[in-house]
Structure 1
């Protein structure tokens, strides 16, 4: 009588295979730039950054993967086994906070991650002259994006500003610092300074705005002007027609 094969046998084989893979991967470590734990790498915009991933404690050839954030990095065939290098060139401000991860292909739990800490001062730009008509609103904007984020202040004519709750508004994000003045007056004329302090290597960074409040321009009633123009046009046309009729009668 034929014996039925036990359904437990394939399961046992699968368990043995998984246990074998777990044991073979358990002793394998990766290092990135000679570090086996996740770390942060500080740098600046411009220079390139090289990351080298190395397989340690493995008796066989191991294939490696690199990720930038969640996206896989394309590697050449000769740059995947046991040792793998990537280069970020040039480093830019947009690379700040990006995570690069080296992983073992056959076991993604074996990995080392590097977070780029790209340090840069704010770029406020050139000084500006701003002209505004009396009675209108104006907004002065400073681009204050930096790493680390700096402290920001507004000054008028080299003195700390006294903000009027009903006329002045401050708006601050990680990238911009704005001063809004509502219903501009002649007394608002002056030099407004956006000042940023932060990393000691930056010093103090400033940008000046020369605000010029011009006299309010007289407002002409548009409808009256249009009506007057129509009357003048009709009068001229009638004059031309009348003159033409008189010329015809003479002939």
Structure 2
């Protein structure tokens, strides 16, 4: 049963009569009413009272929901209902009208009768009013379309008319409570009951670009607790997902709106971002960089070259440590009091090692969060004997002098060949008989002369 009151919607779910004793009685037209926020509702009752004497007079009747100091408070005097309540009674029939319903109006409403000579009566149980908000639900969404349903927890008559809105503008009016709409990432939809345009449903829309907050906002130190929160305005409410150091969305860290590090580690440093998603769409946050500060890790010491160290050779010691912020390094030798500093650089360089450089070396790595000391490294410089040193020097001298000497000899030979060519004289060849025996030099000269004359004789014959 529904009351046909112009300009408002009321849904009566049941009716019950409250019968009093000794001729007292209150009869409510309904004991359960469901109404939409912003609408107007009416509650009606009839009452009876005892007529023991003919001049019994009703002094006052009123509706109430609260009591103060044990006494019911007349609804027309309640500040929460000021300007919204009207109470009318005629011929033992009383009607309570409440306009512009609020969700806070949900309560049990009772009727009280007061007669002269101190008699009174309360009709209990009273009328239970439930005020609900109109809701627009997304039942399904696919390929840029969504099926929307304009609903309320109250029973709605079949002939109820609905108004649909897109981005604040009226889209259509009809008796259907559902509709298929096209939507973009920025579109906003809402609905209202016809005649209640000022009380639209909450809008539905895709998530707005999510924001990421870091708590605490101060510098993050290793071991501290840190919470990242992803938030986005969306209806239906968004589902959140967290990622780190990538944009492929393949590695999910968390599927809550918060990601909590109870004890941060150096490995937790990096860029984080989140997504907010509902049936209307998905949006991604900007990246937020988490920089975890930590004291230096135990430093390591390396030697270059790593071969046996001989006197006069060049050697470099390097100290390294993982730290954030970067560590400052200091070198020490043969002590642990840290009183004698050799160097305040990551490297300690010996351009020419001496026997006196032998010993134990160590370094420290320090930043504002702490200091760590390396293990000691023993450097053993091998001593060279005078003989070995002299041989070495000799080899070096030879290596230095041989190349210039070879170049000099080559240039002299080149000059000699060049001089012979420039003289342009025939070269006489004297052939000696290998089987002849020459007694003296004069015989040898005579042979040479004869061989020289032979060409002349041959020339005459010609």
**TM-score if structure 1 supplies the norm length?**
0.52
Contact 2:298–2:372 under 8 Å retained in 1: no
Contact 1:30–1:112 under 8 Å retained in 2: no
1:211 to 379, 394, 397: 379
Encode CA deviations 1:68-112: one digit per residue, 9 max, x unaligned: 112435349xx64xx34556799653433x111123244535456
Q: Is 2:220 the counterpart of 1:42? A: yes
Structure 2 equivalent of residue 195 of structure 1: 364
Q: Is 2:197 the counterpart of 1:17? A: no
Deviation at 1:60, TM superposition (A): 0.6
State the distance in 1 between where 2:250 and 2:219 align. Answer: 19
Any residues of structure 2 matched to 1:71-150 within 5 Å, and which? 71=247, 72=249, 74-75=251-252, 80=255, 83-84=256-257, 86=259, 92-96=265-269, 98-105=270-277, 106-108=281-283, 110-111=285-286, 113-125=288-300, 132-150=309-327
SS of 1:187's equivalent in the other structure is helix
Q: 1:203 to 1:142 in 2, by over 3 A?
A: closer
More helix per residue: 1
Contact 2:299–2:374 under 8 Å retained in 1: yes
Contact 2:295–2:367 under 8 Å retained in 1: no
Contact 1:28–1:58 under 8 Å retained in 2: no
- What RMSD over aligned residues (CA atoms) do the two structures have, in Å? 4.5
Q: 1:54 to 1:204 in 2, by over 3 A?
A: closer
Q: 1:40 to 1:115 in 2, by over 3 A?
A: farther
SS of 2:384's equivalent in the other structure is coil
- Select the structure with the greater relative contact order (CA < 8 A; seq sep ≥ 6): 1
State the distance in 1 between where 2:330 and 2:300 align. Answer: 16
Q: Is 2:318 the counterpart of 1:151? A: no
SS of 1:139's equivalent in the other structure is strand
Q: Is 2:341 the counterpart of 1:160? A: yes
Contact 1:156–1:190 under 8 Å retained in 2: yes
**Unpaired segments of 5 or more residues in structure 1?**
1-14, 163-169, 222-251
**Unpaired segments of 5 or more residues in structure 2?**
1-181, 189-203, 393-462
Q: Which moved more, 1:151-160 or 1:139-148?
A: 151-160
Bigger radius of gyration among the two:
2
Q: 1:84 to 1:198 in 2, by over 3 A?
A: same
State the distance in 2 between where 1:58 and 1:68 align. Answer: 23
Deviation at 1:213, TM superposition (A): 1.0
Contact 2:206–2:282 under 8 Å retained in 1: yes
Contact 1:104–1:111 under 8 Å retained in 2: no
Q: 1:137 to 1:89 in 2, by over 3 A?
A: farther
1:63 to 239, 260, 265: 239
Contact 1:32–1:112 under 8 Å retained in 2: no
State the distance in 1 between where 2:228 and 2:250 align. Answer: 14
Contact 2:207–2:234 under 8 Å retained in 1: no
**TM-score if structure 2 supplies the norm length?**
0.31
SS of 1:214's equivalent in the other structure is coil
State the distance in 2 between where 1:16 and 1:126 align. Answer: 64
State the distance in 2 between where 1:18 and 1:61 align. Answer: 15
Q: 1:159 to 1:74 in 2, by over 3 A?
A: closer
